[in-house]
């Protein structure tokens, strides 16, 4: 518990005790009874209460998240240095302490009635470079610079939110929106808009002793007319994309059909080439076979011719050998007047008696 609070409670109790003693002494005096040492006890209680009150007024405990500005009747109206966290001593009844938080705070301006610092629609209405009206929801996350707490108090007297952060933020947001077109704000340049506002706020608020930690561009709302036109445009773009997708799908299907036809043609061509190759191979094999057969026949003829040259009677023998089995006689050359009997080729055949042909 804060010791200054404890001292305040003790001083309050001491004053109550002193007041009770005064009332008791008055009542006893009214009854004609004496209150021995009443004056001494009352004076002691009052002195003790005054000491406790002075001590509680002089001891100031500053929280770690705060800094204290001392308003003094002794030192040109204000101490030049702020009080640090912990227990500090000030001149009782001549100096007063105003604490300022140095932790991060958030100031929100929103179209939603319950979200912003001000109830109702507190969004920033701004106009784009092409004349469209938008409403911007935003939050500024900031803290007071601990090193310039005294200067900040002198400048703004604790009204830094209403007199500095709010008006400056709204003005910078309007300036930033006016530099971009309506389509740029909700698409490609939204990040650039947020960065411009954040950088400008950091610079301008820094001069007032405020540190900007972040700027949050929460939402950008358009007019109903423009929102309808954007919706129609998006619908048209979606339909166009769908049509383009259908065309692309048909092109892919046509390309697949072409690939299938090309593959089938290649297969037919390969099959035809294989058949042609097989036919050529077969023809070559038959030609080679015929060539080999012709060469063999030619060689055989050469051998027969050589044999005939060496032995002319071989032809007669071959001729006789080729006669049908049923022939019982044979003709001899015209210069031979004889018919020669042939042996019977069948069992039981009669023997032909040789005769002379005149």
Residue 349 has pLDDT above 50, yes or no: no
Q: 216 pairs with which residues across the strands?
A: 139
Confidence of residue 337 (pLDDT cuts 50, 70, 90): low
Residue 214 has pLDDT above 50, yes or no: yes
Query: Can you tell me the distance from the alpha carbon of 278 to that of 257, in angstroms, rounded to the nearest whole number?
Result: 31
pLDDT, tens digit, 9 for 90 and up, residues 71-87: 988 767 888 899 999 88
**137 burial level (CB within 10 Å; 0-12, 13-18, 19+):** buried
For residue 115, which of 132, 137, 92, 130 has the smallest C-alpha distance? 137
pLDDT score recorded for residue 163:
92
More confident residue, 342 or 250: 250
Q: What is the pLDDT of residue 323?
A: 58
Residues 335-355, mean pLDDT to the nearest whole number: 47
- Taking CA atoms, 295 is separated from 98, 175, 238, 288, in Å, by 131, 108, 83, 10
Average pLDDT estimate for 314-323: 64
pLDDT (0 to 100) of residue 331: 54
**pLDDT tens digits, one per residue of 165-201:** 999 999 999 999 999 988 888 778 889 999 999 999 9
pLDDT number for residue 297? 79
CATH 3.30.479.30 intervals, the chain: 105-222
Of 29-33, 173-177, 249-253, 290-294, the poorest mean pLDDT is in: 29-33
User: Cα 198–200–204 angle (5° rounding)?
Assistant: 120
Least confident of 22-26, 144-148, 190-194, 326-330: 326-330
Mean pLDDT of 26-48: 72
What pLDDT, on the 0 to 100 scale, is given for residue 334?
A: 57
Mean pLDDT of the chain: 79
Task: Give residue 344's pLDDT.
Answer: 47
**Which of 9-13, 31-35, 283-287 is predicted least confidently?**
31-35
Name the nearest CA neighbour of 157 among 98, 88, 90.
Answer: 98
Q: Among 223, 271, 221, 210, which residue's Cα sits nearest to residue 111?
A: 221
**Which is higher by pLDDT, 118 or 169?**
169
CATH topology of domain 105-222: Tetrahydropterin Synthase; Chain A (3.30.479)
Tokens linked to 298: 């030619």
Decide: residue 103, CB within 10 A, 0-12 exposed, 13-18 middle, 19+ buried. Answer: exposed
Q: In sequence order, which residues have a C-beta less than 8 Å from that of residue 358 and are 6 or more positions away? A: 337
- Tell me, what's the pLDDT at 144? 94
pLDDT beyond 60 at 41: yes
Flag the least confident range among 37-41, 42-46, 258-262, 348-352: 348-352
Q: CA 156, 162, 167, 170: dihedral to nearest 10 degrees?
A: 140
φ, ψ at 161 (rounded to 5°): -70, -50
Nearest CA among 176, 165, 174, 178 for reference residue 204 = 165
Q: Is the dihedral of CA 23, 29, 34, 36 positive or negative?
A: positive
């Amino acid at each position: 518990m804060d010791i200054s609070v404890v001292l305040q409670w003790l001083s309050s109790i001491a004053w109550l005790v002193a007041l009770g003693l005064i009332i008791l002494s008055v009542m006893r005096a009214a009854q004609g009874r004496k209150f021995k040492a009443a004056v001494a006890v009352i004076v002691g209680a009052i002195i003790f209460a005054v000491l406790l009150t002075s001590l509680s007024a002089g001891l100031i405990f500053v929280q770690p998240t705060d800094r204290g500005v001392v308003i003094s009747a002794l030192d040109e109206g204000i101490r030049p240095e702020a009080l640090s966290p912990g227990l500090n001593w000030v001149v009782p009844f001549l100096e007063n302490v105003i604490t300022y938080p140095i932790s991060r705070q958030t100031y929100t301006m929103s179209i939603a009635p319950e979200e912003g610092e001000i109830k109702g629609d507190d969004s920033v209405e701004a106009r784009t470079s092409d004349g469209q009206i938008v409403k911007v929801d935003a939050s500024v996350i900031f803290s007071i610079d601990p090193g310039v707490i005294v200067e900040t108090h002198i400048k703004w007297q604790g009204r830094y939110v209403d007199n500095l952060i709010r008006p400056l933020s709204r003005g910078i947001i309007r300036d930033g929106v006016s530099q971009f077109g309506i389509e740029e704000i909700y698409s490609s340049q939204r990040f650039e808009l947020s960065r411009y506002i954040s950088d400008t706020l950091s610079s301008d608020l820094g001069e007032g002793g405020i540190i900007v930690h972040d700027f949050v561009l929460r939402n950008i709302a358009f007019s109903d007319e423009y929102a309808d036109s954007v919706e129609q445009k998006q619908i048209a773009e979606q339909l166009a994309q769908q049509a383009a997708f259908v065309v692309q799908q048909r092109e892919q299907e046509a390309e697949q059909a072409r690939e299938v036809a090309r593959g089938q043609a290649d297969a037919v061509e390969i099959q035809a080439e294989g058949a042609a190759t097989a036919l050529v191979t077969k023809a070559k094999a038959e030609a080679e076979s015929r060539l080999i057969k012709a060469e063999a026949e030619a060689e055989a003829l050469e051998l027969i011719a050589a044999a005939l040259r060496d032995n002319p009677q071989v032809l007669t023998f071959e001729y006789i050998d080729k006669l049908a089995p049923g022939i019982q006689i044979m003709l001899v050359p015209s210069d031979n007047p004889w018919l020669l009997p042939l042996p019977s080729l069948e069992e039981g055949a009669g023997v032909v008696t040789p005769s002379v042909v005149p």
